[in-house]
Amino acid sequence: MSHVCVSGIGCLCAAGDTLDEAVSSMMAGQRHAGDPPLFEASHPHTFPVFAVRSFLPETAGDVFLRTSQLALNAAQQAITQAQWSGDELRKLRVGVCIGTTVGSTMDVESFYDEYRQSRDPEMLAIDCFLDSNPAAVINRHFGLNGPCQTIVNACSSGTDAIGMAAMWIESGLCDVVIAGGADELCRTTYNGFASLQINSPVLSRPFSVDRCGLNLGEGAAVLILESEQVREKRQHIAAQGYVLGYGSGTDGWHLTAPHPEGRGLKQALAEAFAMSGIDRQQLAFVNTHGTGTKDNDRVESLVLADELPTIPFHSTKGYTGHTLGAAGAIEAAFTLAFLQQQQIPASAGFSEQDPEFSVTPVLENRAISGEVALSESLAFGGNNAVLILGKGEL
């Protein structure tokens, strides 16, 4: 893959309303979790979540799902940083590629309940769902006319969206792609992860021996990807980073559990390294999926020990929660920011080494050296995806 340039990054999550805020907050070790702010549930105890704190939906008259509002906010941040005007963008082949889970699911609980009770519920919930496809919302908002798609690969959606967007650039499908991921906290996924018994009642502890599940989060991140031809005309705009490689592999094993030896993840890594031409020892660090569930962290540790045993790694889920379809995009944004700062934050929540693991995450904020890093995502359905990202030129 040629070096696909990232000219703008937008990000909002529980750690902050912008990428800078989020990075500062993580470096300070802050973990902004609490009870779900926008819904209630009747479990014996609540499961802490990581909500976007200051961003509230414009409820009255607004027919977009919160997921799409988050996506649009991140896209606007990214386009502003990339210094694109709408008129300039509309002269080019601009694609939109966004990952999500909640944003494409018809989980209209109150509507369904009323329907079952033989009432005639208001159609607003269905209107809202039909109008809220995140990629289409961004496409319409900016009046674009290029390829437009929402990827729904569960928790690797954001990573796959950025990877596919880079491939669109590489193939000459697009001059520019607005790529990323978005997901909101919602009752359905909250109850769903609880039903699978992987929602933690305490703050998550990725890679720690006493880890007991994940915390859900919400947010969005969007990257502006540009082709080399576009880049040549925009040398005055600072490159925030580069997408150097993308790989994906499928476990073909189980609907919700990863392959015990990480078959698909190893394949994704091999493909990304082959595509990028990057040597493994060039990696400054790895941003893991690191959810804090027993299975995920065990398999990721195993693969890291086999494939990248000397590379420092961490999980940022302890600062953001697991933002599902947004996670890969948010963590790609973090990875680029950490490369820029040449520092990564400690893996939040870790307390004690798991004797089964032969690798340990970074326990304190650590200076790094190098211009390349890797971000990985694992997902229900056996999807695994990784991005190899390069430092910008700020």
Partner 1 sequence: MTLLKQPMAIQGIGCIGGFGCGNESFVAALKDGYSQTTPIESTHPTGQRYLPALLANTDRLTDFVPRRSLRRIDHFSRMALLGGYLALEDAGLAVEDCGRIGVIVASGYGAATTTFNFLESIIDDGDSCASPTNFSNSVHNVAAAYLSMQLQALGPNLTISQFDMSISAALYNAACWLEQGRVDTVLVGGVDEHSSLLNYCYQRYFTDSVVAERIAPFNFEQQSAVVAEGAAFLVLSRQPQQAKYGVIDSLVAGDFNQSAVKIDSDLLLIGADGHRSYGEIYAQLSTPQPVYNCTPCYGSLPVGQGFDLAVAALMLRNQECYGIARQPSRESVEVNTFNSVSSLKCTANDQFSLIRLSRQECDHA
Which listed residue (67, 191, 291, 301) binds partner 1 by CB under 8 A? 191
Site string for partner 1, 72-101 (x = CB under 8 A): -----------------------------x
Contacts of 56 (CB under 8 A, 6+ apart): none
β-sheet bridge partners, residue 322: 216
Which listed residue (116, 281, 364, 394) binds partner 1 by CB under 8 A? 116
In 3D space, the residue among 218, 255, 103, 225 whose CA is nearest the CA of residue 164 turns out to be: 225
Site for partner 1, residues 252 to 291, rule: CB under 8 A:
252-256, 263-264, 267, 271
In 3D space, the residue among 316, 327, 332, 336 whose CA is nearest the CA of residue 387 turns out to be: 332
Q: How far is the CB of 165 from partner 1 (least distance, A)?
A: 10
Whole-angstrom CA distances from 11 to 70, 154, 320, 334 are 9, 19, 12, 9
Q: How far is the CB of 227 from partner 1 (least distance, A)?
A: 14
Contacts of 216 (CB under 8 A, 6+ apart): 47, 49, 50, 185, 189, 190, 193, 199, 321, 322, 323, 324
Site for partner 1, residues 130 to 189, rule: CB under 8 A:
130, 133, 135-136, 140, 145-154, 160, 164, 167-168, 170-173, 187-188
The CA distance from 240 to 81, in Å, is 9
Indicate the residue among 93 and 317 with the shorter CB distance to partner 1. 93
Q: Does 390 bind partner 1 (CB under 8 A)?
A: no
Indicate the residue among 62 and 109 with the shorter CB distance to partner 1. 109
Indicate the residue among 90 and 280 with the shorter CB distance to partner 1. 90
Instruction: Output the six-digit token pair for 213.
Output: 């599940």
**Among 65-73, 249-257, 296-304, 306-314, the segment contacting partner 1 (CB under 8 A):** 249-257
- DSSP of 230-299: HHHTTTTSPP-EEEEEEEEEE--S-SSS--TT-HHHHHHHHHHHHHHT--GGGEEEEE------HHHHHH
The site that binds partner 1 (CB under 8 A) totals a number of residues, namely 69
Q: How far is the CB of 33 from partner 1 (least distance, A)?
A: 19
Q: Does 120 bind partner 1 (CB under 8 A)?
A: yes
Which listed residue (76, 105, 353, 365) binds partner 1 by CB under 8 A? 105
In this structure, what are the phi and psi dihedrals at residue 16, rounded to the nearest 5 degrees?
A: 170, 160
Q: How far is the CB of 322 from partner 1 (least distance, A)?
A: 14
Which listed residue (250, 341, 342, 360) binds partner 1 by CB under 8 A? 250
Contacts of 164 (CB under 8 A, 6+ apart): 97, 149, 151, 179, 246
Residues that bind partner 1 (CB under 8 A): 41-44, 101, 104-109, 112-113, 115-116, 118, 120, 123, 126, 130, 133, 135-136, 140, 145-154, 160, 164, 167-168, 170-173, 187-188, 191-197, 248-256, 263-264, 267, 271, 379-383
